[in-house]
Structure 1
Amino acid sequence: MMKIIYKNNRIEGRKSELPIIELSSSFMKKNIINEGTINVKFGNWLGTFTLKKNEQLTENVIALEKKSLPFDIPAHLPYEMNYKGNTLHIGPIIAFIAVKKTRNLTHKLLEQNKDRFEDYKEIGGLLFVCSGDAIDFSKETIEGYYYNPNATDALTRWKKGTFPFPDSIFKKLTLPMEKERELQKKLENKVFNTNRFSKLDLWRAFSSNNNLRNYLPYTIEYESIGALSRMVQNFETVYVKPVIGLKGIGIFMIKYEEDYFSITNHEKEKKYFKSISEVDLYLTTIIGNERYLIQQGIPTIHKNKHVDFRLYFQKDKYHRWVCQGTLGRVGQEGSVITNLQQIAHLADGLKAIKIVFHESEEEAKRILYETINVCIHLCQALQGKLGHYGDIALDVIIDQHQKPWILEVNNGYGTKSLRALNDMDLLKRLKTTPFQYAKSLAGF
């Protein structure tokens, strides 16, 4: 780790209009650097400095004129230095976009996110929290609050400042597409997670992929009664869902039972209809102009309860997808969804597999391993199709033949279920690992 010293006065010996940076003779000798001009990189900002040797500086200390930078770089933080191609890169500088509006970036919200920085000693550098509307493309700066690792209380933990465009950005929300694209261009695709996508987008992206399509339920857009009729004829059960869904709201399960159709909604209310035209009329009356999809239903009933699994995947510092943990969710009897409001039972994924399939520990591990392997293949394929991701949760069904089916990819997932299970180790990994990946993206 290295340290920055700011000199309030003009550094002596300047012979040009360029600002001066001073390095120790030992650092310059170690990296084969000669006096002259040098490029200095903070985040995405690059400036040219006159380089001077300072015999009084220790190896891991640099000196800068206070006014040489058009943004805030706190001097008391520990940084790393990389020297390559006459450029001295100082960092990492990482932004976490936590909210859309600055007015929502309250001290309470900052404190709610402090556990994301528990592994600061492994990351170092300047880590700051900001809002989407605080990004200034004209000046290439972002206003926010940086994390102070030396703080002794909540009041001194967060310091406001104006920072350069960072080396990398981790975000948990959707930005306007134009802003997203411009950020990706400026930071050379070092912004993750990119914007959310729907179940329909997922199907369309991978339905032509022979290795993945067999693990995705067949999905089409609900555009006509013909689309609904074809799906009901082809599959024993189908689900009608909002293209952009949230917490299972607006989901309908449709089944053909003997000589009538049954429809169950997310509140467990059940209705019966004699014809598909009656079903279509009923649904379109409720749906209106909203976009909906129709999805193949996968049999997962366990004692009249739906069962699914959530698997958490993140990229580590080596850019490898890692399964951080798994969760089994058993819905309430008669419910068509398994969100937290209608869950009867939560358990670790392995334990849930053993209970549902009545399998031994060894066989349950095999099923889980195969499920994780399929999910990792999808994770690896995401970046080429749907964006840059490093922190996602996959909702998966395992059918009666022990085959996994990937229902959905969530990059804005919550952690209430894990808190209900009191799985604090997994929670910590999920909170902190993205900054290891962000640091690696930053080049450190």
Structure 2
Amino acid sequence: MRKGNLITNSGMQDKDDFIIYLSNKFLQTHNINSDTILLKFGSWSKLFTIIKQNSLPQHTISLPERSIPFSIPSTLDLEVKLKGNTLHLGPVIGFIAKKNKKSLNMRALESYENRFEHYNKIKGLLFICSSDSIDTANQTIQGYYYNPEGKTVNTRWRKGTFPYPDSMFKKIRIPTKLERDLRIKLGNKLFNTNFFNKLQFWEICESTERIKHFVPQTNQYKQKRDLQDMLSMFDRVYLKPIRGKKGEGIYMINKEANFVTITNYLKEKQTFRTLYELETYLEKHIRYEDYILQQGIPTIYKNKHVDFRLYMQKNMDGTWVCQGSVGRVAQEESIVTNLKQIAHMSTGEKAIRIVFQVDSEIAKQIMNNAIIACREVCNVLDQKLGHFGDVAIDLIIDNDYKPWILEVNNLYGVKSLEILKDWETLSVLRSNPFFYAKGLGGF
């Protein structure tokens, strides 16, 4: 991969707009022997006639301005990839961050600046856009590209119209029709594609032999009989909304010798003498089809629930790696570990040492087993639910050190890491998707 600078010249008045000016040194460096070349920038490409112009610097490419239907910033550091007769400049990477262009103001753009702190290693044209700024008819996108030389907000983010990129990362839900079009045009170069609920996740895990043992037994709550069946198998069952609500709407049901208890996410506990009484209570509070029933896994530490979050991302080679982890101990009697109800939080390995009273070496092995499970699950997600590259996985580790995957989030927050002041993990999580996007785009 070699460096290349692209300039457009509005003063050129060639009869043929599709002329590209290259120096002899450029042609020799890249072993270009033909009279024409296919210039590719993002998903846009056009055949150009080569004109030698030795006054150009060795790494510079010059084109008539009108030959390209969008602006290419000449200040950016582009890489050159030659394959056959195609001269590919890039990478061009898009990031869909908002739903509407009005919300993509300078304040919002500046909040994403830390995602581009490693631009000098990624290079190319990196731009942020909203989903409503994507023109599927012309295959162009309006947005703001990141200018690494900008010293102020207004110079750091420059507005422009860009081609469909080499690869695209999205962090929001976008209209189904738009996503379908992007997938058709970009192929597998669009990642974090599908959003799925807890039931869909369990169904693909349960149907895949190599990972089914990593997930608790889960069923959709369709009728009273479903709860009876689960409580006949397990003494503890969780009732969870199919679509995540940050812990809201979760119930824990415990079967005792002569009664049954239910505790909600607010720590409110009620006792019922019979299962029929409990079912009558639930009929007033939930809609069956919106909930799942899940096997409860014992993970109590000093009468407190414990779970873990592992941050999984693909590296530049497309391999899933764990970038960091958090261990979360809930408040006493709380059944959820959201930030409002956490008693203690630390890195994953430290939490394992404390909860299981093991040394660093054993804690590391327990965490490695959890990472292996998460990696297997991530690979299956790619095979069956879409194309992903950046997710957070919530799991439990039982008293036998076995990991149980509870949920996969591809819209996740990083508040826990900010509280822990884990700046190193935060930095990696924010910037790494663009390294993966670069590799995905062929650079």
Shared fold, TM over 0.5: yes
> Counterparts of 2:71 and 2:249 in 1: how far apart (Å)?
47
Deviations 1:238-268 (CA, angstroms, capped at 9, x unpaired): 1111111121011011111221111111111
2:221–2:289 contact (8 Å) kept in structure 1: no
> Which residue matches 2:62?
63
Match of 1:5 in 2: 7
Find out whether 1:324 has 2:317 as its counterpart: no
Cα contact 1:216–1:407 (8 A) shared by 2: yes
Note if 1:231 corresponds to 2:233. Answer: no
Counterpart of 1:302 in structure 2 is 301
Mapping of residues 364-375 of structure 1, within 5 Å: 364-375=363-374
SS of the aligned residue for 1:306 comes to strand
Gaps of 5+ in 1: none
Q: Which amino acid aligns with 1:427?
A: L
What does residue 248 of structure 2 align with?
249
Structure 1 residue 336 displacement after superposition = 0.7
- Structure 1 residue 275: Cα displacement: 2.4
- Distance in 2 (alpha carbons) for counterparts of 1:290 and 1:157: 48
Q: 2:158 maps to which residue?
A: 159
Q: Which residue of 2 aligns with 1:408?
A: 407
1:31 has 2:30 as partner: yes
Checking the alignment, whether the CA contact within 8 Å between 1:314 and 1:392 is kept in structure 2 is yes
Kindly state the Cα deviation for residue 195 of structure 1 after the two structures are TM-superposed. Answer: 2.2
8 Å contact kept, 1:173–1:195: no
Measure the CA separation in 2 of the matches of 1:32 and 1:157: 36
- Equivalent in the alignment of 2:176: 177
1:413 Cα deviation from its structure 2 partner: 0.8
Q: Deviations over 1:361-400 (max 9, x none)?
A: 1111111111111111111222111111111111010011
Contact 1:3 1:62 in 2 (8 A): yes
Q: Does 1:194 align with 2:202?
A: no
Q: Distance in 2 between matches of 1:357 and 1:319?
A: 33
Q: 1:11–1:20: 8 Å Cα contact kept in structure 2? A: no
Alignment of 1:40-439 (within 5 A): 40-288=39-287, 291-439=290-438
Paired with 1:277 and 1:53, the residues of 2 have a C-alpha distance of 86
2: distance between equivalents of 1:411 and 1:195? Answer: 9
User: Which residue is 2:19 aligned to?
Assistant: 20
- Shifted more, 239-248 versus 173-182: the winner is 173-182
Question: Could you tell me how far apart the structure 2 residues matched to 1:134 and 1:195 are?
Answer: 20
Give SS of 1:5's match.
strand
| SS state at 1:189 partner | helix
Cα distance in 2 for partners of 1:73, 1:189 equals 25
Deviation of the 1:290 alpha carbon: 5.9
Post-superposition, which runs of at least 4 consecutive aligned residues in structure 1 deviate over 6 A? none
CA gap 1:49/1:313 in 2 versus in 1, 3 angstroms: same
- Decide whether aligned partners of structure 1 residues 104 and 284 sit closer, same or farther in structure 2, where only a CA change above 3 A counts: farther
Q: TM-score scaled by structure 1?
A: 0.97
**Counterpart of 1:187 in 2: which secondary structure?**
helix
Where 1:49 maps in the other structure, the secondary structure is strand
Aligned length: 441
Listed one character per residue, the Cα deviations across residues 254-287 of structure 1 (whole Å, up to 9, x for unaligned) are 1112211111111111111222232222223222
- SS in structure 1 of the partner of residue 309 of structure 2: strand
CA shift digits 1:207-258 (9 cap, x unpaired): 1222211110111111000111101111111111111112101101111122
More moved, 3-12 vs 120-129 = 3-12
User: Contact between 1:238 and 1:297, CA under 8 Å: does it hold in 2?
Assistant: yes
SS in 2 for 1:329: strand
Kindly indicate whether the alpha-carbon contact (under 8 Å) linking 2:198 and 2:244 is maintained by their aligned counterparts in 1. no
Q: Which amino acid aligns with 2:260?
A: F
Whole-angstrom CA distance in 2 between matches of 1:178 and 1:221: 28
Partner amino acid for 2:40? K
Q: Distance in 2 between matches of 1:32 and 1:107?
A: 43
Q: Distance in 1 between matches of 2:105 and 2:260?
A: 50
Do the aligned partners of 2:202 and 2:218 also contact (CA within 8 Å) in 1?
yes
Greater mean deviation of Cα atoms: 286-295 or 340-349:
286-295
How far apart in 1 are the matches of 2:362 and 2:262? 36
CA contact (8 A) 1:168 1:439 kept: yes
Judge which range, 379-388 or 428-437, deviates more: 379-388
Letter in 2 for 1:192: F
